[in-house]
Amino acid sequence: MANVERVNGFKPVKHLNGSPLSGSIETFYHAAGTTVTHDLFVGDLVYLSGTGDASGIPGVVVATAGKGNPIVGVIVGIKAQPAHLDRNNWIDGADEGYVLVDVDPSVVLEAQVDDTLTYTDLYNNTNMVQTQAGSRVSGASGQEIDATVNTSATNQLKIVGFPQREDNTIALADNKAYVTINYHVLAGNMAGL
């Protein structure tokens, strides 16, 4: 059975140690005009922007795909924007707002692969890829898992498994996979910013 092409970013599903998903959710700020070309969606991987709000909440922007580009976590929620109450699952890249980010380095994320991954790719590293802009209608993120794998320690993601479901056929295009953030800002193997 063919897999359904449904790009919707990264979703926390469990922890590596087998404990139930609890998450370590932190509030981050997105400054107005920080990334005009990239709206922020639930499911987007993000990185620290070097900005912050007046009360000291650190800023984030959409993560840049590719080796050596660290990640701080995944957006799991958007705080209400008083000027834009119609936007509950995205922030315009030109607007300021607040996002809820799961920053736990041990969280396992599910996402669609931009091509195909198989069991031989397990425990190798890869990157995220922005295959679409994201949808202002559905709020779906446009990020996926890059199907190009290798052993580079500075790749963004590590492949740790596959959802065992009827709607996920391994080794066919657009299959879903489980990953952890390999190049994580909070991981012990990364140099300070």
Percentage of the chain modeled with pLDDT above 70:
94
Whether 6 maps to a domain, the answer reads no
For strands 157-161 and 176-181, give the pairing.
Answer: antiparallel
Whether 36 maps to a domain, the answer reads yes
Residue appearing with tokens 């912050």: 52
Predicted TM-score (pTM) of this structure: 0.92
Residue appearing with tokens 């996002």: 99
Q: Which of 105, 84, 113, 93 is nearest to 49 (CA)?
A: 93
Tell me what pLDDT residue 36 has. Answer: 56
CB 9 within 8 A of CB 140: yes
The CA distances from residue 128 to 95, 100, 109, 133, in Å, are 24, 20, 12, 14
CB 141 within 8 A of CB 63: no
Whether 37 maps to a domain, the answer reads yes
First to last CA, the chain: 45
Residue appearing with tokens 């066919």: 172
Whether 115 maps to a domain, the answer reads yes
Give how many domains the chain has, as a whole number: 1
CB 26 within 8 A of CB 58: no
Whether 4 maps to a domain, the answer reads no
Q: Check pLDDT > 60 for residue 178.
A: yes
Across 106-117, average pLDDT: 95
Q: Which residues constitute the domain of residue 27? A: 11-15+23-181
Task: Name the residue with higher pLDDT: 74 or 87.
Answer: 74
Across 80-86, average pLDDT: 80
Whether 99 maps to a domain, the answer reads yes
Percentage of the chain modeled with pLDDT above 90:
63
Q: Check pLDDT > 70 for residue 193.
A: no
Whether 192 maps to a domain, the answer reads no
Q: Check pLDDT > 90 for residue 157.
A: yes
- What average pLDDT is seen over the chain? 90
Tell me what pLDDT residue 52 has. Answer: 93
pLDDT in tens, 6-38: 888 999 999 988 888 886 899 999 988 755 568
Whether 118 maps to a domain, the answer reads yes
- Ramachandran category for residue 111: left, alpha or beta (phi over 0 → left; psi -120 to 50 → alpha): beta
Return all residues near 193 (Cβ < 8 A) that are at least 6 apart: 48, 185
The helix/strand/coil state of 169 is coil
- Token digits of residue 9: 């970013």
- Token digits of residue 161: 């498994």
The helix/strand/coil state of 107 is strand
Tell me what pLDDT residue 192 has. Answer: 52
Radius of gyration of the chain (CA): 16
